[in-house]
Chains A and B, each alone.
Chain A
Amino acid sequence: MILPVISMAIANASVALCAAALQRRVVTGDRAIDTLVFLLIRLLLISAIVLFFGVLRVLSSGPILSFTLVLLVVLLAKGEHRHLLPFSISIPRIWMVAFGTLLLRAFIQSWCFAPYNADCLSYHLPKVAQWIHGRSIITDLGPDSHSTFPAGFELLEAWWTVFNHHDVLIEFAGIEWWIIGGVAVYGLAQYAGLSRNSSYFGAFFYALTPGIAVQSTSCLNDGAVASALLASLLLACRGESWALLVMSVGLGIGIKPVYAFALPPITILYLVVAGLPNRNGKAVGTLSVALAGSAILVGAFWYIRNLLWLGNPIYPIASGGLSDAFGNIQLGFNLSSLRLSFVSLVEDRVWDRRIPMSPVLPHLAGWGSVNLALGMPGLLTGAQGDVRIRRLAWTAIGSAALIFSLVAYDPWNARFVLFLAGLLSVGAAWLVARMPAVGALAGIGLFINFILTMLPAEIPPNDFKILWSRSWTERSTLVTTSEVPRAITRIGCFVDTRKPVYCLFTPDFSRTVVYLRPSSSQELLEMMKGESLKYLYAEPELPAGRSVLLTCIKRGSLVRRGEGVFELSDEAPLKSP
C-alpha cells in the first residue's frame, strides 16, 4: 500500500513541477490564465505519458515511476522548484474554506462511490481496465460499439489507477477537469469586469452547479468537455496566444467530438478579439507552438488510430449516423433536433424535477437554481450594457445551438451544453455584485444544490449504505460480480447490448476478461476452450446471441451459476452431435 502511494506522489510531483516549469516560459501575466495554462499543461503531460507507455505496452507503475523520477531529479537539479513560490496561488481564506469544503466532499464521494454509471461501466471504463490489466493501449476495446470513441479523458483515469492498480481514485480525473472549469469561470468573470471577490462567487456557483458537481465524480466525460470549452472560451475572449488556445482545443477534441461542435463560434470570437487594436495577445513562442502541436497529436491520436485500424476516423459512425443496440448517434445538421432540444430545455429540463440528479441528466438540465434564477437575469442585464458579456453570451448561445443541431434529440442531450452553466454562473455573480439583496436567494440555491448533489440518482441511499459497508478494496456496484467467485482469474464475456462489463475486471483489475463474439454455439464453446475459460458472463439480448446461449444451455455445455454467469461443463462437446 505504501509503495503505490509513494509512486503516485513522486509521479504527480514530477509532472506538476514540469508543468510549472513549462508554464513559466509561456507566462501571460494574467493570474487566471496562467493558472489555467498550468493545469492544462499538467493534463497534457499526463495524457502524453500514459499514451506513450500504453502504446509501448509498458503501461504500469514501474516504468512510469522510473521515468518521472528521472524527470523530477533533472528538474530539481535545474532548480525549477525555486520558482514555485511566486507561482503559488493566493486565495482569500474564506474562499479557501469554501472551495476546500467542496473539494473535500468530492474526495469523500470519490472514495465512497464505485463507478456506477451505465455508459461508464459498459464502454468508458472497460477500456481503462483493459489498459491497466494488459499494460497496453493497443487492445480489444470490447463489444460496445461506442468503445472506439476518443478516450482522452480515460487517459487521465488510467493515470489515477496505474500506480495502485485499483480504481478507488479513478474519479479524480473528473475532479481535475472540475477544477479547470472553476478556474476558467473565474477568468471569464474577471474578463466580464467583475471584482476578484465576485469572480470567486462565479467560480463557486459553477463548482456547485448540480450537473457539473455530479459529473465530476461520475467517470463520465461531459463535465470535462464543459470545462474544456470554458477554458477555450477564456483563452479566446482574452485574445491570448493562439497556440495556447490550440493546446486547449487539442485536449478537448481528445475527450469527445462534441467539443469540436462548439468550436466555430469560439474561433470567431478569437478572431474578433485578436483583430482588436488593444488586445492582450503576445508574440507566440516556440514552446507554445510545441505545446499546441503536442496537444493536437494527443487529441487526434484516437481519430488517427481509428482511421488506420478501422478505416474511419469516427468509426463506427457512418454517413447516416449510427443506430444499433447501443444507441443512436446523429451525423450532420438537423434543425429538428435543435428545436426539440431547446423546447424541452426551457419547458421542462431546467427545473430539474423529473428525477434526482444524475450525471447523464435524463430529462434534466443540471443548471441548478442559482444559475437559473440569478444567472439568466444577470447575463441578460449584463449583456445589455457590456460588450464583453455580450460577446461571451453570443458565443455561448452559438455553440449551444450548434451542439443541439448536431446531436440527436434524446432525454440526455442537455449534458452536452453543460458549459452554459459556466456563463450563467458569471451572470449570477454579476447580479449578486450589483444587487447584494439577491445574495440570500443565492444562499438558498447553493444549499439546495449541495443537497441535490450528495448522491447521484444511480446510488439511492440504501445502495450507498451497501457500498459503504463494503471494504474499499472490494467496492463495486455490480451485484453480478458477487456471483463470480473471487478466485476466478479468467472469464469470458459475451454481450451484444449495453452491459456493465467493467465490474467483471474487479476493482483491482486482477481478473482477465476475454471478449467473445461467437456466431454459433459451437464457436462459443471452441472459443472458451481455446482461451482456457471455465466461466462466462453472458447476457446477449439480440435474437442471434440469445439463440447461441440457449443452445449451449440446452445441450448442457453451459451451467448457470448466477445472474448472467455460466460455467463450462466438463463434458461440453466441441462438435455438434
Chain B
Amino acid sequence: MRFRVRAGIVLQVSPPLSLLLWRVSRHSPKMWLLDIVILLALFWLCVALDQTNRVWRFAAVTISILITANYCWGAMVNLLAWWTQ
C-alpha cells in the first residue's frame, strides 16, 4: 500500500477513534452504546475502511434502525405521557 493511501486512512480513522476513546473514558451511566457519537464514529470507521461498498451500507442500515428505534420510542413515550396527563 502506498504511503499516501496509508496516511489517508490514518487521517480518516484518527478522529473517530479519538471520539470513541473520549466517549468511553467518560463512563456515562447512560446507554453509551447507543450514544450518537459512538455510533457515528463506528460508522465513520466503516466508511473510511470500506473498499467494497458493502460494509458501510450494512452499517448505515444498522445505525439508522438503531437510531430510529431509540428516537421514536423515547419521543412517543414522552408524547403519550403528555397527551394523557
Contact = CB atoms under 8 A, between A and B. Distances in A.
A46 B67 CA distance: 42
Contact of B64 (A353, A441, A448): A441
A320 interface: no
B21 to A, nearest CB: 15
A435 interface: yes
A444 B68 contact: yes
Contacts of B40: 376-377, 380
Interface in A434-482: 435, 437-438, 441, 444-445, 448, 451-452, 457, 460-461
Contact of B78 (A353, A369, A435, A441): A353
A104 interface: no
B1 interface: no
A543 to B, nearest CB: 35
A381 B36 contact: no
Contacts of B35: 346-347
Q: Which of A381, A431, A445, A461 counts the most B-chain CB atoms under 10 A from its CB?
A: A381
B2 interface: no
A373 B67 contact: yes
Interface string B71-85: 110111111001101
B72 A445 contact: yes
A381 B78 contact: no
A347 B31 CA distance: 10
A373 B63 CA distance: 7
A20 interface: no
User: What DSSP secondary structure best describes chain B's contact surface?
Assistant: helix
B52 interface: no
Chain A interface size range: 20 to 34
Contacts, number: 92
Given A438-B60, A461-B83, A372 B36 contact: yes
A351 interface: yes
B63 A377 contact: yes
A21 interface: no
A167 interface: no
A355 interface: yes
A486 B60 CA distance: 59
Given A372-B36, A376-B36, A381-B60, A441 B75 contact: no
Contacts of A384: 47-48
A4 interface: no
B48 A347 contact: no
A380 B83 CA distance: 36
A457 B82 contact: yes
A353 B72 contact: no
Given A384-B48, A444-B72, A460-B85, A377 B79 contact: no
B68 A460 contact: no
B28 interface: yes
Contacts of B63: 373, 377
Interface string B24-60: 0000101000011100100110011000000011011
A294 B64 CA distance: 45
A377 B64 contact: yes
A317 interface: no
A102 to B, nearest CB: 19
A457 B78 CA distance: 11
20 contacts: A346-B36, A346-B37, A347-B28, A347-B35, A351-B71, A351-B74, A352-B74, A356-B78, A373-B66, A376-B36, A376-B40, A376-B67, A380-B44, A380-B47, A381-B60, A441-B65, A441-B68, A444-B68, A448-B76, A460-B82
Interface of B: 28, 30, 35-37, 40, 43-44, 47-48, 56-57, 59-61, 63-68, 70-72, 74-79, 82-83, 85
Given A372-B36, A448-B75, 19 more contacts: A346-B35, A346-B36, A347-B28, A347-B37, A351-B74, A352-B71, A352-B74, A356-B82, A369-B68, A369-B72, A373-B63, A373-B68, A380-B47, A435-B57, A441-B64, A444-B72, A448-B71, A448-B72, A452-B75
